[in-house]
Structures are given as C-alpha cells and as structure tokens.
Structure 1
Amino acid sequence: MSDAPSTVSQRRVVALLLPAAAAMTSLYQGIQQILLPAQIEAIDATAKISNLGIAATASSVAAVIGLLAGGAISDRTWGRWGRRTPSLVVAAIVSAVLALAMGASSALGPLVFFYSALWFSANYYQGALTAILPDRISVERRGVGSAVLALAIPIGVVIGVNVAAQTSRPVAYAVLAGLFLMGMAALVLFAPEPAAPPRPRAAERLKIDVVAGVLGFVASFRSRDFALAFVSRALMFFSVFTVSGYTYYILQDHIGVEALPGRNLQHGVSTLVTIQMVLCLLSAAVGGWLADRWRRPKLFVGASAIGMAFALAVPIISPTWPAMIVLEVFLGLFFGAYLAVDLALMSLVLPDRESEGRDMAILAVATSAPQILAPLIAAAMIGLFGYPFLFVFGAATALLSGIVVFFIKSVR
C-alpha cells in the first residue's frame, strides 16, 4: 500500500471502484461480444472468422502494451493529483473518442486500427485502475476490494451486451463511451488521491533507462509464487477467451440460429451472457466475503478453476441451446467465485512494494496476453476440428490453471 496518507476512506475508494471498473468492462464486452463481430460480418461474411482473429490479435498486442504502460507510467507519476489520476483521466477521454471513431468505421482497415488504438488506451486505463487495489487498500480489506472489482465484471458485462443488443450501432458506441467517462469521473472526483511526492528511488525518473526497465519487468518473475500466479491466471483466461471470443459465431454456426429463442442471434448472445453474469455477480459477492472470513484465497481460486473445467465439458456432450444455458449457469457460479478472490491472491504475491503498479500490470497481462493467441488458436481449431474442440481446449486449460495455483506457497 502507498506510504502517502489518504484523506479519503478506504470504504469510499472501494465503493467508487465499482462504477469505474464496471463502465470499463461494459465498453470491453459490448464491443467484443456483439458490436465487433456484427461489424466484421457486415464487411465480409465469408471471411468473418479469420478477420475477427486478425482484429482480436492486433488489438490484444496493443492491449498488453497498454496495460504495462498504464501500470509502469502511473508508478512514475507524481504531483498534486496523485499517482493514478492523471493516467485515468487522459486514458478515459482518449478511449471515448476512439470508441466513437470505431462505431463510424465501415471498412476492415480503419475498424482494426481504431479497435487496436482503443484497446491500448482502455487497457492503459485498466493498468492504472488495478494498481489502486494495492496502492490505497490495506491488506485486511484487500479481499473486499478484489470482490468489488470482481462484481464490476458481471455488472459491466450485462450493461455492455444489452446496450449493444438493444440499440443501434452508433448509439451503442456513444452510450458505452459516455458510461466510461462517467465511471472515471465519479472515482477521481469523489475519491480523490492524495498528492504524490517523488519517491527517493524515482528522483531521476524522467531519464528513462529502457534496459533497466526491461530488466525490472523480468525481475518480477524471479519470485516463484509471482510466476506461478501469472501462469495460472494466463491459463484461466486462455480458457475464457478461446470460448467467449467466438460466442456469437458458436450460436450462429454451431448451435444454429433456428434453435435460438425467437431466432434472434444478438438476443441469444445477450441472454447467455446475462445469465452467466447475474450468477457471477451473486457468486462473487459471496466468494469475496467467504475468502476474507476464511483467509484461504488460493483454495477458492483453485477450486473455482477446476469447476469451470467441468462446466466447459457440458456443450461437448450436448451441443444444444439448453446445454449452452447450463454452461452459462455453471460458468457464472464458478467464474464469479474465481474473480472475487483472484485479484486479492494476485496482490498478495507482489514481490516489490515500490513497483506495485508495474507488477499488477504484469499480472493483468496474464489476462490480456491470452487474447493475442486465443483468437488465432480458436480460428485454427474451428478450421481443423470444428467448434466442439474449443470447449475441449477451454476445459483443459481451466483444469491446468486450477492445478498450478495450488503450488503457490506463500498464500493459503
């Protein structure tokens, strides 16, 4: 936690992290789940799977760079506005502008460009935002803070996919951009950071040493538990993104539009995502409280990952609309419990207190890095083996994620 005294209660900081993170998630998911696949299909329906893979891969590279930059640069920021606030404000404004530009794109080139730029700026924002957890929240309340950030995910997903499904494309992009700005504004205005004086180690911070910076990132992985947490998290999000990134096309081509209620593809996607996220919300609320009470975050994270592996086996057995509903029910329960405790566990394995923002950003890369490879892997698997193999891969990586986390020694 930052050494700077805070004039704002931790309870208020935690409460206002919720709208800031939820608005960010609504932007991500409204675009990823509905708006982007629909735009790509409208441009070239015959090449939609490969084009979605290209767009997702390009944007994910930008996202990883943005996450690292947001954490590291906000670590190096000081002044009357605090360490994280300048990054949050600039990144949110840039993201809103890019979202509007993306909504106006009708050709693949500009769409991929604006999508990648948006993912850089939004992930830069995320890198600074997640650093608030170790920066301003004490270890004793870290579980509650993690649970609030976890609750923001299902809330944001439900808002994002329903805005995207129920409104026209330009309106959806405008609403999501506006929500992003409002979430940021609520946090920085009503839970302002204390002034951040330069740290002794950062007196020469304007003279950026690129080599030293790279070595600093690599040094974090000398911590065994940090490295294991990174691997476990990366495996989990390989599982999540490989399947969820193609939900739109799974329903369209594998389950079949004629099998969906009302034969409405966009409503089918929003229904599945809403079911998962409502249950995720309930599970996260209970999971965060229990993890703080029992102080066993590793057990919660590992068991939840293994539970997700079994849930992902359901559509392999029965590729039907009811099976997809069953999948989303169990994914919601297990993923909610996972998310409620995941960030708390991550924050407890950070190796360097003075580089918490950088190290949290590195762990956040374990969320975004799979997005680089998942679209390519998914597209290849669909082409070679068909849609069912997506679920096989997802189940296997979730199971491995749960196994790896139990090898962390410093956390129960």
Structure 2
Amino acid sequence: MTIPTHTTLTAERRPLRCGEKPTEPKSPLFVGALGFAQFGLFVALLGPVIVSMALKVNTLVADPTGRTSALGVVLGVGAVAAFLGNAVFGRLSDRTTSRFGRRRPWLVGGVLVMAAALLLISQAGSVPVLALGWFIAQLGANAAFAPFIATLADQLPEKQHAKVSAMVGIMQNVAVLAAAQLATRLTDDMLGLFMVPAAIGVLGMVVFALVLPDPVLETPPPRLDARTIAETFWVSPVRHPDFGFAWWSRFLIFLSSFLFTTFRLNFLVDRVELSEAEAAQAIATGILIYTAVLVVAGWAAGVVSDRTGRRKMLVASSTLLFGVGVALLAHADTVSGFYWVEAIMGLAFGIYMSVDMALVLEVLPNRDDSGKDLGVFNMANAIPQSAAPFLGSLLLGVGVGSAGPNYTLMLWTAALIALVGAAVVLPIRKVK
C-alpha cells in the first residue's frame, strides 16, 4: 500500500485555479449550500411566473382576454432581460478580477437587485410599471444565476455531475412547490406575495456565496473588443455541434413547458371552470404531486446516469414523455385529470433535469469561458420564457369564440415541440 506524502495531500487539497478541471468530490456542506441557493432563487423567480404575476395582473385588468394578453406581455418583456442577462453576466463573471472571486460579487449583487425590483412589482399600479419591474427583476436574477450555474463547471468533478445536477433540478422544482404554497397563503397580500419569496432568494444566495471556494482570477483578461462582445451571445454550432444539439433540446422542452405554465391559472379558470382561489389551490396541489414524483425520478435517474455514464437516451426519452403529458393535458377538463397529467410530467421532467445538465457540462466548448458558454446555454431557458407568452397568446386567439381561448391548439403545439426536442438529442456524439 502506498502511503500518501505530505506533498501529495497538499496538492490534492489546494484550492482550484480558474479554469482548472476539478477531480475531488465536493463536500456535503458545499452541495447543501448549492441546493439551498437554487431553491431560494427559484422561489423568488418562479413564484411570479406560476401564480403571483397572474394575480397581480388580475388586480389591474378586468377583461379576461385582456388579462391573458397583459400577462403575456409582462412575462415576455421580463424574459428578454433573462435572455440578455444570462450571456452578459456569465461573460462578465468569467472576466471578474475581484479579490472576492469571479462569481461571488455577481451572486450577491444580482439577488439584491432582484429583490428591489420585486418590491416595485408589489406596489405597481399599472401594467407598464409591472413590465418594467419584471424586466429589472429578471435582469438581477440572471446576473446571479449565470455565475451560479458556472460554479457547477468550476467546482464539480465529472463523477458528481449527474447526482448534483439531479439535486439542483430537484431543488428548483421543490422551489416551484414552495412558491405555489406561499402564493395560496398570501393571495390577498401583494407585498408579502412578492417579498417573502424575495427574502428567501437573497438568503439562499448569500449563504452559498459564503461557502463557495471562489478562486480569484489573477491574470487580467484581454480588453473586450467588438468580436469578443459579439461572441458573448454565440457558440458556433458548426465547431461545437454537440453543444448546439444540447442547446436546441433544452430550448424546445422549455418552450413546450412555458406554453402551459404561463397560462396554467387561466386554463383552470376557463377550461375546468374553477374560481381564481380554487385554481390557485389546484395548482398548488398539482405541483405537490408533480414535485413528489419528480424528486424520486430525478434522484434515481441521477444515480443511474453517474453509475452507467449514460446521458443521451435518458434525456431523449424523458423529453418525449413530457410531450405525451402535454398532449394529454389538452383533453383534461377535470381537476383529477389535471393531477394525473402533473404526475406524468413530473416523472418526465425529473429524469430530464437530473441528466441534462450533466450532459451539458460534458460538451462545454471551453472551461475558461464556462460562465459565458453556460450563459449562452441558459438562453435556451430564457428565450422560451419570452417566446412562449407571445406564441401562446397567438395560439389561444386562433378561432376564439364562445368557447373561449383555444387551449387545445396551444397544448398540441407544445406537445409537438417537445417531440422535436427529443429527436435533436440523438445526434450528440461526445456523450453516451
């Protein structure tokens, strides 16, 4: 048996340098803080998308059709900020030479801006002010989120990719459940509806920033030129085809998902004929079912993926199953039918979220630019948030009459989009 020397132990335990590939597993403290930060940020960020923003819009707009249009505009405008923020702040964090590290200043500063914007939203008296507040909130949240996701590439060895990605995906969806539960309890308190989740988001990210062993970028990067700025929003799919296919898969499943979640409260009110309070409670129960299934499926898929090294088929099959769930939802006109579909979609998304990020971490073009590259990848999350409200509003308006918005057309379109998302994973070569 070889006895490790003092020199060897010192080399293994020394802090990682910027761009260095990690080999040692991260501690439970780090992983726990990572999960708490993900939970907190998404409680604050997804609460408005799920229920809160629709409730706020309904206090400002009386007409049902006008409400869906206003909601689509507000969420769409905010998603433009998410699109810009992911790549820009990911790139800036790659180049940050602060003595506090590359990522830490953005983690803390971003969530503070988000919290201030959510306060503005809670007090907004018009739809334009609401849209402005959501734009700023998304900008701040993504100033934190892009560097946060980059820490996965910075800190995690490959043997932890799927398990930790599973935990991150699970915590995101537990956050959805928590946000929905908070919304049902704070429906009549607009300040609490937005600021209680904001406080949780700030706390989670500050705790993670304190735990994060964030290396300092010792060599100042070259000055930004026009080409570098343009490349902030671009990774060549010709030079990096696996990354491109992974990007399109994420874009399509998130577009499919946001087509439904953006209008879920209105769907339950219009199609299932629930009151707003009943619809909010049904969403909370549905998310509870969805999350319970997701947690079990996601953790199991992460363990299996890390042990077998298989990523691609799990991502493709889960995306296909998600599309099946969305198609079934087009025929759900009862609360029980809605709950069954939530279970199917939870199973699919649990598998997807646990394995997809592990796949992406293995096809990144450049470790030194992981913040920028993951920022580009996160556009596949952000663009659907912008596109889905506008596309959904158009689809809901096709053939509208006495039957109300055309949810059947919207949901079948979402199902077909998910089907294409499953197919584009298959050409990836670098990952099994």
Question: Does the pair score TM above 0.5?
Answer: yes
- State the 1:213 CA deviation: 2.3
Cα deviation, residue 105, structure 1: 1.2
Alignment-mate amino acid for residue 100 of structure 2: W
Is the CA contact 2:83–2:379 (under 8 Å) kept in the aligned structure 1? yes
Paired residue type of 2:192: V
Letter in 2 for 1:265: A
Q: Which residue of 1 aligns with 2:201?
A: 180
Q: Secondary structure at the match of 1:10?
A: coil
Residue 350 of structure 2: aligned partner: 336
Confirm or deny: 8 A CA contact 2:235 2:373 kept in the other structure. Answer: no
Shift of 1:370: 1.1
- Indicate the larger mover: 136-145 or 323-332: 136-145
1:244 aligned to which of 261, 286, 292: 261
Change in Cα spacing, 1:318 to 1:267, as seen in structure 2 (3 Å) is closer
Q: Aligned equivalents of 2:332 and 2:170: distance in 1?
A: 30
- Of the candidates 43, 53, 58, which is equivalent to residue 41 of structure 1? 58
Alignment of 1:281 with 2:300, yes or no, is: no
AA aligned to 2:299 is A
Unaligned runs of 5+ in 1: none
Count of aligned pairs between the two proteins = 403
The one of 243, 247, 250 equivalent to 1:230 is 247
1:78 pairs, out of 85, 97, 103, with 97
Q: Deviations over 1:312-350 (max 9, x none)?
A: 222233432221111100001110110011111111111
Per-residue CA shift, 1:109-133, capped at 9, x if unaligned?
1111001110111012111110011
Moved more, 85-94 or 308-317: 308-317
Q: CA deviation at 1:9?
A: 6.6
Which structure has the larger Rg? Answer: 2
Query: What TM-score comes out, normalization by structure 1 length?
Result: 0.93
Give the counterpart letter for 1:406 in structure 2: L
For 2:362 and 2:370, the matched residues in 1 are separated by 11
SS of corresponding position for 1:208:
coil
The 3 A distance-change label for structure 1 pair 292 and 53 is: same
> Per-residue displacement from partner, 1:32-72 (whole Å, max 9, x unpaired)?
11110011111112110111111111111111111112211
Tell me the equivalent position of 2:386.
Answer: 372
Question: How many angstroms does 1:80 deviate by?
Answer: 2.4
1:401 is matched with which residue: 412, 421, 424? 421
Aligned pairs for 1:93-172 (under 5 A) are 93-167=112-186, 168-172=189-193
Please report how far the alpha carbon of residue 138 of structure 1 lies from its aligned counterpart in structure 2 after TM superposition: 1.2
- The 8 Å contact of residues 146 and 343 in structure 1, kept in 2 or not, is answered as yes
Among candidates 3, 8, 15, match of residue 32 of structure 2: 15
Seen in structure 2, the aligned counterparts of structure 1 residues 103 and 235 have a Cα distance that, compared at 3 Å, is same
2:227 matched residue in structure 1: 211
Tell me the equivalent position of 2:402.
Answer: none
1:384 equivalent in structure 2: 398
* Cα root mean square deviation, aligned: 1.9
TM-score by length of 2: 0.89
Equivalent-residue separation in structure 2 for 1:3 and 1:373 (angstroms): 34
The letter of the residue matching 1:212 is T
